[in-house]
Amino acid sequence: MVVAGCSKFVKNGVGTVFVGAPLSEVRVMTEKNDVIQNIEVWDLPTRLFHWSLVALVAAQWLTAEGSGAMHWHVRGGYAVLALVLFRLIWGFMGSDTARFSDFLRGPGAALAYAQALRRGETPRYLGHNPLGAWSIVAMLVLLLIQAGTGLFANDDILIEGPLYAWVSKGTSDWLTTIHRFNFNLLLLVIAVHLSAVLFYLLVKRENLIRPMLSGRKRLPPGEVGPAPRIVSPWLGLAVLAVAVVAVWLLVR
């Protein structure tokens, strides 16, 4: 499961133009600053979501391998579902960099970005680039399918999902099959995501991991624009509470 969101710097004959969508302001930097700028781009709730999800997916993989840990697997599934619900809400209420309206672009933008990479260019974005944005969406959809089908799944031995009684045994078996197959798709998307992070680190010399830890991105001289709006982490806590309560009401 990271501006203004998908905001980009473009150089022209005048100077460095900071193009922020959907931000309406465009700033032309006619004087360059020799000091590396540290801009806050990721809020605390987004970063905690990211690393909590990393830990949970790893735990879910491990607990799925042995029947003795299946009860923990079920509880972990609840946690994943709550995190995904949080991120979906946060995509509308969170900081600029976390909002879907700020970083999601159409297929044309993603294709143009891929073509720029092929030409050896590296369009700079404060947050998700157009390709990365769609990988985030794909991961959230797969996680939602994974957690959702797990609610109805069974292992034909001891464990049944909390909503198993809502469907027939045949439907539960079908959803269990989807649950297992979907996890392989999820692992594939995660592998692509990790490969992209390594590509940017080793080839493009852009560290995408550090900003997701510190929340701040280091910008070269001349690439300074309006910082994204960062909302209070207390709002994130409230949104998480809503997501947790919703999952609790669903599975109790």
Instruction: Express each pLDDT in 72-87 by its tens digit.
Output: 999 999 999 999 999 9
The domain segmentation of the chain, as residue ranges, is: 42-214+230-251
Instruction: Express each pLDDT in 1-20 by its tens digit.
Output: 433 334 444 434 333 334 44
Instruction: Express each pLDDT in 166-209 by its tens digit.
Output: 999 999 999 999 999 999 999 999 999 999 999 999 998 889 99
**Which has more pLDDT, 227 or 201?**
201
Q: Domain 42-214+230-251: state its class.
A: mainly alpha
Contact 28, 16 (CB under 8 A): yes
Q: Is the pLDDT of residue 107 over 60?
A: yes
What whole-number distance in Å separates Cα of residue 28 and Cα of residue 251?
A: 53
Q: What percent of the chain has pLDDT over 90?
A: 67
Q: Is the pLDDT of residue 139 over 70?
A: yes
- Among residues 162, 185, 182, 187, the alpha carbon closest in space to that of 172 is found at 162
Residue 100 confidence class, pLDDT cut points 50, 70, 90: very high
Q: Is the pLDDT of residue 224 over 50?
A: yes
Angle at 13 between CA 8 and CA 16, to 5 degrees: 30
